[in-house]
Amino acid sequence: MLWEEFMPVQLICCSHSPLMTTGIEETEQGVQGQFFRELDTCAAALHKFDPDLVVVFGPDHFNGFFYELMPAFCIGTAAEGSKDWHLESGPLRVPRELALSCVRYLQARDFDLAISHQMRVDHGITIPLLKLTGALARYDVLPVFVNCAADPRPSFRRVRAFGEAIGEFLADQDMRITIVGSGGLSHDPPTPRLDMSPPDVARRLIVRHTPTQDELDARENRVIKAARDLVAGKGPCLPPSEQWDRDFLQIFLGSRLEDFDRMTDAEIDRVAGFGAHEVRTWVAAAAAARKMGDVRAELRYYHLVPEWITGMGIVVGQG
Q: Which residues are catalytic?
A: 123, 187
DSSP secondary-structure letter at 278?
A: G
CB atoms within 10 A of CB 113: 19
Question: Please, what is the Cα angle at 159 between 156 and 162, to 5 degrees?
Answer: 150
d(CA 88, CA 156): 32
Residues with Cβ within 8 Å of residue 304, at least 6 apart in sequence: 240, 242, 245, 310, 311, 312
Residues in the chain: 319
Q: Where are the beta strands (DSSP E) in the chain?
A: 9-14, 53-58, 73-76, 79-81, 90-91, 114-116, 119-121, 141-146, 177-182, 296-305, 310-318
Measuring CA to CA, how many Å separate 150 from each of 63, 191, 241, 313? 12, 10, 22, 23
Cα 213 from chain centre: 23
Residue (of 312, 314, 286, 317) closest to 20 by Cα position: 312
